[in-house]
Amino acid sequence: MRAILKGLAVVLACAVPVAGAAQELTALARVDPVESAVKDGWFGKTDLTVALSQGVPFRVFLLDDPARLIVDFREADWSEVARGDLLKKPGRISALRFGAFQPGWSRLVADLAKPMIPAEIGMPVDASSGKARLEITLETVTAEVFAKAAGVPVDPDWTTALTAPPKPAAVDKDSFTIVLDPGHGGIDPGAQREGLDEKDLMLNFARDLRDALRRKGVDVLLTRDDDIFVALEHRVAIAHQAEADLFISLHADSLSQGGASGATVYTLSDDASDVATEHLAARHDRSDIIAGADLTGSDDQVAGILLDLARQETEPRSDALAATLVEGMRAAGGPMNSRPLRRAGFSVLKSADIPSVLVEVGFLSSKRDLTNLRDPVWRASMVSAMADAIVAWRDQDAALKPLIRK
């Protein structure tokens, strides 16, 4: 069953029907929300239809733990599709997410309430209009059958395009280099409130902070400079490839536990400093699952003597950076969280040799923070305060380096 399903996924990705010689598959196809739908039918079957303005290459596969159906599209535009357009209410498909995944690629992720596998997959193209419909019929199966069918198809062309981490821009190796990591992106919106997505807020904030730091002579790279998805491990890999001196992940989450509000700076720890922080770290680390990443074989444990030795130097430097950031942001008016310095096991902070912090600039779940995040004057003040704090930490850290035992 697994071999058959994977074979279908690869063949269908390459064998999209073309209606006439004029029908090209390289232009952007628009998704039609009116003609697209999810419908639960009889006998444990569910139909998923995605209507497109033209045919595009695609592939379909399953992932387990949790059970998900993944559809990758080449050049499909989801901008006209709102949340809830395709899935009116949860059924055998409990949730749908869609959006940009990598430049030129988009992804649909369907969370499956019951184990289901594709019984039929096709993309008929209308010969007169050129419009296409991706039609997938899912049938309910046992958990054992689903587990055997799940897995990413082995197709080098697709795998390279969709899983390779973005290559960082060239930097001056002799200069101080910072990697800024705008949280979430693409198919993963992050926290959402009143029409705002965390991914958009943090991308704009990261761009402003980058520009402020560059004006101070600092080399800065972003893990993403567009609305695309970047896997957590790739964000860290980008920092390593750039030989970064510092890594800062930027977020504005939504958290009900503890009435979270105010800016907070997190450093790495195996044990969370409190229950709310533990929930937040778990939420952040679900980003790869939300975006349909295959976590098979991934290792959440950062272990080994060499890593521990590296952390003996890096951890106090990260702590010093966190304290300097909190001091600078508080001096600029904050507002700061009642406990602005916290610790947790965030995956993006697990680089043993690069000082790393995660900054919650504010929480979208807080009305006050939401108002601030919308205010360009407040954002500019925070950007300036953070840039000053980072440069101050850089100078202090450089002065301490001769004192570090080799």
What integer is the mean pLDDT of 243-252? 91
Please state at what angle helix 376-400 crosses helix 305-331, rounded to 10 degrees.
130
pLDDT digits (tens, 9 = 90+) for 14-61: 333 332 222 334 458 899 999 999 999 998 899 999 999 988 888 898
In this predicted structure, what is the pLDDT of residue 309? Answer: 44
pLDDT digits (tens, 9 = 90+) for 332-387: 988 998 888 887 766 666 666 788 898 999 888 889 999 999 999 999 999 999 99
Is the predicted pLDDT of residue 73 greater than 60, yes or no? yes
Q: Which of 278, 276, 244, 242 is nearest to 261 (CA)?
A: 276
In this predicted structure, what is the pLDDT of residue 68? Answer: 92
- Is the Cβ–Cβ distance between 243 and 237 less than 8 Å? no
DSSP code for 74: E
Side-chain-side CA neighbours of 279 within 13 Å: the count stands at: 11
Query: What is the H or E stretch that residue 6 is in?
Result: helix 2-14
The string of DSSP letters for 15-57 reads -----STT--SSSPEEEEEEEEEEEE-STTEEEEEEEESS---
Is the predicted pLDDT of residue 405 greater than 80, yes or no? no
Q: Which amino acid is it at 275?
A: V
Strand partners, 40: 46
In this predicted structure, what is the pLDDT of residue 258? Answer: 53
The percentage of the chain sitting over the pLDDT mark of 70, rounded to a whole number, equals 73
What tokens were used for 69? 């159906």
Q: What domains lie within the chain, and their CATH numbers?
A: 2-155 (2.60.40.3500), 177-403 (3.40.630.40)
Residue keyed to tokens 């680089």:
351
What tokens were used for 18? 């073309």
Please enumerate in sequence order all residues whose Cβ is within 8 A of that of 303, keeping only pairs 6 or more positions apart, or say none: none
In this predicted structure, what is the pLDDT of residue 259? Answer: 63
In this predicted structure, what is the pLDDT of residue 316? Answer: 87
336-344/356-360 β-pairing: unpaired
Q: How far apart are CA 32 and CA 51, in angstroms?
A: 5
What integer is the mean pLDDT of 384-405? 85
Verdict on whether the full-model pTM lies above 0.85:
no
Query: What is the H or E stretch that residue 121 is in?
Result: strand 116-122
Q: How far apart are CA 52 and CA 129, in angstroms?
A: 11
Least confident span in 6-10, 149-153, 204-208 = 6-10
Please, which pLDDT band fits residue 322 given cuts at 50, 70 and 90? very high
Q: What φ, ψ does residue 126 adopt, rounded to 5°?
A: -70, 125
Please enumerate in sequence order all residues whose Cβ is within 8 A of that of 19, keeping only pairs 6 or more positions apart, or say none: 55, 125, 126, 127, 128, 130
In this predicted structure, what is the pLDDT of residue 10? Answer: 38
Neighbouring CB atoms inside 10 A of 167's CB total 9
Query: What is the H or E stretch that residue 112 is in?
Result: strand 105-112
Q: How far apart are CA 208 and CA 384, in angstroms?
A: 9
Side-chain-side CA neighbours of 84 within 13 Å: the count stands at: 2
Q: How much is the mean pLDDT over the chain?
A: 79
CA distances from 26 to 15, 71, 226, 385 (A): 14, 18, 21, 45
Least confident span in 82-91, 228-237, 275-284, 381-390 = 275-284
Neighbouring CB atoms inside 10 A of 157's CB total 11
Q: How far apart are CA 158 and CA 54, in angstroms?
A: 20
